[in-house]
Structure 1
């Protein structure tokens, strides 16, 4: 498929995990892709084997509103337009709520929530011209609570409702806004968890499909939501969770 031929997409957090998989998916479907991350070395490694004429790598920390404004301006100047914004950059902090510091709380909010809003705000004038699309990476942690995960839950929960709110405000301008809500996904952020076999056994028991999510599976849903195939889909927070959110939380009986 070449659903994004002639179109331009910005992918934040593109140096690894879901962001990298999404950038590669958009590129494979013909898009000109701006890879955005704050890790220069990892970003360069992703960009080097993508089509040079259709790819740009841009260093930016999405928690900095000025940096996000400059990011969007630079991409629009380089490629002449903007059709898709994927707000994917994210960080994680958790633990006992009584022991979470102000810095930990602000770090998560600044990247996982503020960065999403900054990206949307900066991209709006360009997306209105192209009747483009925004896809935010939320989480099942934004649709229900987790133990010892209050900063991340709060930020992702806000992204879920921000997605709905922006969809209402921007629909008449032709801009669609959706999010994906993955469950546990095999990324750099979850590498330590993946090495804990006892913990993974608990996850597999709770996930109806019996395994964790792979980044390319989330990327496929992001690409669908951003494409013209989803032309009447906006304000949706799509679970990519192997069935986790289908449960009411009670344990299996057999």
Structure 2
């Protein structure tokens, strides 16, 4: 049986490190990224490293339904889908609020729907959320939660805007809602795919030293303060996130599904505790 893995956002950063880890666990690995040159270079680097898996670049925007159908066809042609690490996404400084929600939440759901027919016993998927999902408003907002539950609805963006108010037009606020939606989707998807023996979890990174993270830090001075509040006193490393993802995708995590794993160095705990960790 030929096993297949898919990593999105694989051109750099956490996605690339996830791909590096998966080269030792599947026979064929599809690297997905909208950056055609970047994903080709990533595939070449992994192949040149002498990895066991056959690595193939697959340029794709995850909000492209036709392209996602092609990705599913290609995975089916190659073998049995074993692992999916969905790291593709954009951060607040990269787009306006609508695009952030479309890529980070709607694109996640579109990918899962395209791949769902390929899931079988032992298939595992990990979607990237963010610690920001836990740092937004905590008061109940039933209308917003209802909108998040139907991200493929034609009126989704307008429904969420009506529920949250004009603040959601701030791309940082939209990012938090998108990542909250990813966590909610993973819970529902775990219930949906469990009967066939498949699993799905999410991970929520804190501040991680990646090119995308550096771009955000250059535009958001508050990120430096968050690092200062982190109990471990530093940013995360991409390979640390990839190690958690690799575990969640492995048979060792065979009873984990429908949960989010916070990988933030303890900063959310510090913020919720209200303690001052260091000067």
State the TM-score bracket (shorter-chain normalisation).
0.7 to 0.9
Q: Secondary structure at the match of 2:92?
A: coil
Q: CA deviation at 1:55?
A: 0.6
Q: TM-score, normalised by structure 1?
A: 0.86
Q: Which residue of 1 aligns with 2:186?
A: 163
Equivalent residues of 2:26, 2:82 under 8 A apart: no
Q: Which residue of 1 aligns with 2:110?
A: 118
Segments of structure 2 that go 5 or more residues without pairing to the other structure are 138-166
Q: TM-score, normalised by structure 2?
A: 0.79
Equivalent residues of 1:83, 1:126 under 8 A apart: no
In structure 2, do the counterparts of structure 1 residues 250 and 94 end up closer, same or farther at CA, with 3 Å as the change threshold? farther
In structure 2, do the counterparts of structure 1 residues 63 and 253 end up closer, same or farther at CA, with 3 Å as the change threshold? closer
Q: CA deviation at 1:217?
A: 0.5
Segments of structure 1 that go 5 or more residues without pairing to the other structure are 96-102
Distance in 2 between the 1:94 and 1:51 partners? 32
Q: Which residue of 1 aligns with 2:154?
A: none
Give deviations 1:185-208, integer Å, cap 9, x for gaps: 111212235568975642332111
Q: CA deviation at 1:81?
A: 1.9
Moved more, 172-181 or 63-72: 63-72
Give deviations 1:3-34, integer Å, cap 9, x for gaps: xx953110111001110000011113454210
Question: How many pairs were matched up?
Answer: 241
Equivalent residues of 1:143, 1:160 under 8 A apart: no
Distance in 1 between the 2:64 and 2:239 partners? 28
Q: Does 1:232 align with 2:258?
A: no
In structure 2, do the counterparts of structure 1 residues 153 and 195 end up closer, same or farther at CA, with 3 Å as the change threshold? closer
Q: CA deviation at 1:175?
A: 1.0
Distance in 2 between the 1:206 and 1:253 partners? 6
Distance in 2 between the 1:112 and 1:8 partners? 24
CA RMSD of aligned residues (A): 2.5
Q: CA deviation at 1:110?
A: 1.4
Equivalent residues of 1:135, 1:226 under 8 A apart: yes
Give deviations 1:146-183, integer Å, cap 9, x for gaps: 99611100100000111111111221121111011000
Q: CA deviation at 1:125?
A: 1.5
Q: Does 1:142 align with 2:102?
A: no
